C-alpha cells in the first residue's frame, strides 16, 4: 500500500473543524481544472460542509455535462470562508477576478501539478510529476476516505483524460492508468465522457479548423509550425474562444513538426501564445517563462503585450534557439 504524501496529511489536518469552503480554478478553465474543482466540491459537500465552486469563466459547452447540479458559478461579493482551495492554477493571478472575492479567508490551499507554480498558498501541494490535478484530487479523496461515486468519478476521469491528451502525452504514467482504472471501477462512464469531450464538436469549430489548415505556416525545415487566430477568424467562422481547445494539436501532429505554436489575438496589443512540443529534448515551459508564462515541458503558454509581428518574431526565435540547442548541427 502506498504511503500517503505528507502534503495530503497536512491539508486534511488543517481543514479539520472548518465549515465554509470555496474551491476555485484558473481563468478559461479546461477539463482538468473544471473536473478537479467539481470533484473536490462534491467530495467536500458529501461531508456536510458548505462549499462554493467559483471560476471567473463558465465551463465550455462540451464540459458542462459534468456539472449537472450547476455548482460552478461566477464569484460573489462579500463572502467569507474558513478555507479557499485553488486547484490547477499555477499562480494567484491565474484566478482572475475570483482573486478579488476570496480575500476574507482563514486559509488558502494551493493544489497543482504545474512546475511553474509560484507557491502562493498558505499550504502548497505541488506535484509536478503528476499528469493532472485530477489525479491529485483523487489521491486526496482516497486518503480522506470520502465517498467516490459516479459523479465524482466522471469528473476526475475527464480531468485526467483531457490533460493527458487522452493518455497520449509523455506525462502519462503507470499511476495515471491505475487511477483511471479505479475511476472506471467507481462508475466513470467512458462512453458518455468520450462522446461529450471528443465526439461532439460544434459546426463553428469545424469551420475554424478549416481556417487552421488553410493558414498555418512552417519554418526551420518544417520543425516549427505556427498559426494566428484573430478576431476576424472568429467572426467569419462563428466560433468562440472555447472552440480553440485542442486546435493546436492538429498542427503539432504533422510528422516533421517538433514544436507547434498558436498565436491568439486577445485584444489589440495583447496576444495569447500556446506552445506544444513532441520532442522530449525541447522544453516549452522554459520558452514560455521567457514571456512571463509557464506550464509543462510539453505544453505551456503565456500572454504577451506588443505588436503581433514583433511577438511572432520573438517567440519563433526562442523556439528556434531551443531546437538548435537540443539538436546541434553535426
Asked whether 86 and 109 are in contact (CB, 8 A), the reply is yes
Same domain, 171 and 270: no
What confidence category does residue 307 fall into, taking pLDDT thresholds of 50, 70 and 90?
very high
Domain C-terminal end among 198, 233, 252 = 198
Task: Domain of residue 294: give its range.
Answer: 205-326
Alpha-helical segments (H) within 231-307: 231-237, 248-252, 284-289
pLDDT for residue 330: 60
Q: Is the pLDDT of residue 49 over 90?
A: yes
Same domain, 158 and 305: no
Structure confidence by residue, pLDDT tens digits, 159-202 = 999 999 889 888 899 999 999 999 999 999 999 999 999 888 88
Domain C-terminal end among 161, 179, 198 = 198
Same domain, 193 and 247: no
Same domain, 161 and 294: no
Report if residue 131 sits inside a domain.
yes
User: What letter would DSSP give residue 205?
Assistant: H
pLDDT for residue 2: 64
pLDDT for residue 194: 92
Same domain, 218 and 187: no
Asked whether 259 and 279 are in contact (CB, 8 A), the reply is yes
Report if residue 162 sits inside a domain.
yes
Look up the pTM and report it: 0.88
Tell me the mean pLDDT in the region 8-14.
Answer: 97
pLDDT for residue 317: 97
First to last CA, the chain: 49
Same domain, 45 and 191: yes
Structure confidence by residue, pLDDT tens digits, 220-237 = 999 999 999 999 999 999
Same domain, 225 and 130: no
Residue 125 sits at the vertex; the CA angle it makes with 120 and 127, to the nearest 5 degrees, is 115
Structure confidence by residue, pLDDT tens digits, 251-261 = 999 999 999 99
Mean pLDDT lowest among 26-40, 148-162, 292-306:
292-306
- In the sheet that holds 270-277, the strands lie side by side as 217-219, 224-229, 259-267, 270-277, 299-305, 294-295
Same domain, 127 and 261: no
- Residue located via cell numbers 491565474: 94
Same domain, 194 and 270: no
Structural domain total, the chain: 2
Distance CA 315, CA 164 (A): 25
> What CATH number has the domain bearing residue 247?
3.10.310.30
Report if residue 1 sits inside a domain.
no
Phi, psi (deg, nearest 5) at residue 4: -70, 130
Same domain, 194 and 209: no
Q: How many CB atoms lie within 10 A of CB 238?
A: 13
Domain C-terminal end among 198, 214, 232 = 198
Same domain, 226 and 93: no
Distance CA 157, CA 159 (A): 5
Give SS3 for 108: strand
Report if residue 176 sits inside a domain.
yes
> What CATH number has the domain bearing residue 178?
3.90.1640.10
- Residue located via cell numbers 487566430: 229
Same domain, 175 and 237: no
Amino acid at each position: 500500500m502506498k504511503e500517503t504524501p505528507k502534503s495530503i496529511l497536512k491539508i486534511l489536518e488543517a481543514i479539520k473543524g472548518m465549515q465554509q469552503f470555496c474551491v476555485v480554478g484558473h481563468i478559461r478553465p479546461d477539463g482538468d481544472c473544471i473536473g478537479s474543482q467539481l470533484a473536490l466540491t462534491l467530495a467536500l459537500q458529501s461531508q456536510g460542509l458548505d462549499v462554493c465552486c467559483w471560476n471567473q469563466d463558465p465551463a465550455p459547452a462540451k464540459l458542462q455535462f459534468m456539472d449537472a447540479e450547476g455548482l460552478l458559478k461566477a464569484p460573489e461579493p462579500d463572502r467569507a470562508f474558513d478555507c479557499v482551495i485553488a486547484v490547477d492554477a499555477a499562480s494567484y493571478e491565474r484566478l482572475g477576478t475570483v482573486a478579488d472575492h476570496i480575500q476574507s479567508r482563514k486559509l488558502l490551499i494551493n493544489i497543482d501539478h504545474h512546475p511553474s507554480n509560484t507557491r502562493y498558498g498558505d499550504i502548497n501541494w505541488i506535484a509536478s510529476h503528476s499528469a493532472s490535478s485530477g489525479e491529485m484530487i483523487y489521491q486526496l479523496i482516497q486518503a480522506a476516505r470520502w465517498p467516490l461515486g459516479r459523479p465524482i468519478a466522471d469528473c476526475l476521469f475527464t480531468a485526467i483524460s483531457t490533460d493527458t491528451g487522452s493518455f497520449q502525452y509523455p506525462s502519462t504514467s503507470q499511476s495515471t492508468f491505475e487511477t483511471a482504472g479505479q475511476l472506471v471501477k467507481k462508475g466513470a462512464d467512458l462512453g458518455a465522457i468520450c462522446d461529450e469531450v471528443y465526439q461532439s464538436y460544434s459546426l463553428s469549430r469545424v469551420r475554424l479548423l478549416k481556417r487552421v489548415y488553410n493558414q498555418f505556416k512552417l519554418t526551420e525545415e518544417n520543425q516549427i509550425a505556427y498559426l494566428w487566430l484573430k478576431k476576424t477568424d472568429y467572426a467569419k467562422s462563428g466560433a468562440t474562444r472555447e472552440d480553440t481547445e485542442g486546435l493546436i494539436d492538429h498542427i503539432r501532429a504533422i510528422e516533421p513538426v517538433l514544436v507547434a505554436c498558436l498565436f491568439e489575438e486577445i485584444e489589440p496589443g495583447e496576444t495569447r501564445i500556446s506552445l506544444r512540443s513532441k520532442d522530449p529534448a525541447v522544453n516549452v515551459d522554459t520558452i514560455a517563462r521567457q514571456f512571463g508564462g509557464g506550464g509543462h515541458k510539453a505544453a505551456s503558454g503565456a500572454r504577451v503585450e506588443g505588436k503581433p509581428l514583433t511577438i511572432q518574431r520573438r517567440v519563433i526565435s526562442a523556439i528556434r534557439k531551443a531546437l538548435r540547442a537540443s539538436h546541434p548541427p553535426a
